[in-house]
């Protein structure tokens, strides 16, 4: 069965709680707006946004097993908070369980929580849409929303910076991809 918008909606509706499904719809709307502004492929954006939280409610032990056994998954994920696992694990599960073949869509799903160095436009759009969708309410999000109207890279940098500050304030470790994302975006903006 082809993994298209309708099939993706069916998959996430079955795997997400209602509140998270509504978040997914808001992320999708936000991502499509960002994609239109910044030139990301609309179909890939829609698919990645719909599927980004596919594994959000998977059992932690199941996700741990996937990280331990799947060669495509970085083992260092296990050293960080389990909230980071659902993106990378979800990308693998979508390939195995739903036939997701598009590597760009899978990569955007995998890094939607942490970001990473050298993100392409699709990855930035999904990363940012998840952060700024209208249901999000936390310090700094309004500023990032405003920046997103003008500059995708600067908005992604603000989101990464806010995430790092938040984790530091809680005494939590920062996943290396988040730091690489921040450093890469900072360099990119300085070169503009």
- Tens-digit pLDDT profile for residues 18-70: 999 999 999 999 999 999 999 999 999 999 999 999 999 999 999 999 999 99
pLDDT of 94 > 70? The answer is yes
**For position 103, what pLDDT does the model report?**
96
Nearest to 115 by CA among 52, 169, 61: 52
Instruction: Indicate whether 3 pLDDT > 90.
Output: no
**Domain with residues 5-137, CATH architecture:** Orthogonal Bundle (1.10)
| Confidence class for position 192, pLDDT limits 50, 70, 90 | confident
Residues sharing a CB contact under 8 Å with residue 18, sequence separation 6 or more, in sequence order: none
Q: From the CA atom positions of the chain, what is the Rg in Å? A: 16
Report the alpha-carbon distance of residue 90 to residue 96 in Å, rounded: 10
Give the pLDDT of residue 33. Answer: 98
Q: What is the mean pLDDT of residues 80-107?
A: 96
Q: Say if residues 156 and 120 touch (Cβ distance below 8 Å).
A: no
Quote the pLDDT of residue 2.
72
pLDDT at 61: 98
Q: Which helix (H) or strand (E) holds 66?
A: helix 60-69
Q: How many CB atoms lie within 10 A of CB 65?
A: 12
Compute the average pLDDT of residues 68-94.
97
**Contact yes or no for 141/132 (Cβ under 8 A):** yes
**Average pLDDT over all residues of the chain:** 97
Going by pLDDT thresholds of 50, 70 and 90, the confidence category of residue 1 is: low
81: pLDDT confidence band, cut at 50, 70 and 90? very high
């Amino acid at each position: 069965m082809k993994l298209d918008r309708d099939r993706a909606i069916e998959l996430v509706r079955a795997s997400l709680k209602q509140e998270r499904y509504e978040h997914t719809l808001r992320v999708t709307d936000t991502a499509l707006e960002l994609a239109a502004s910044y030139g990301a492929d609309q179909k890939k954006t829609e698919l990645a946004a719909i599927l980004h939280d596919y594994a959000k409610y998977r059992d932690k032990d199941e996700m741990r097993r996937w990280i331990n056994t799947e060669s495509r998954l970085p083992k260092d994920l296990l050293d960080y908070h389990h909230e980071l696992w659902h993106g990378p694990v979800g990308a693998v599960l979508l390939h195995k369980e739903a036939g997701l073949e598009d590597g760009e869509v899978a990569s955007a799903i995998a890094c939607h929580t942490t970001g990473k160095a050298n993100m392409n436009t699709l990855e930035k759009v999904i990363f940012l849409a998840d952060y700024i969708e209208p249901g999000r309410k936390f310090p700094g999000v309004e500023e990032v929303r405003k920046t997103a109207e003008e500059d995708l890279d600067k908005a992604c940098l603000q989101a990464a910076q806010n995430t790092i500050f938040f984790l530091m304030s809680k005494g939590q470790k920062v996943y290396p991809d988040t730091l690489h994302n921040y450093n890469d975006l900072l360099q990119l903006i300085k070169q503009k």
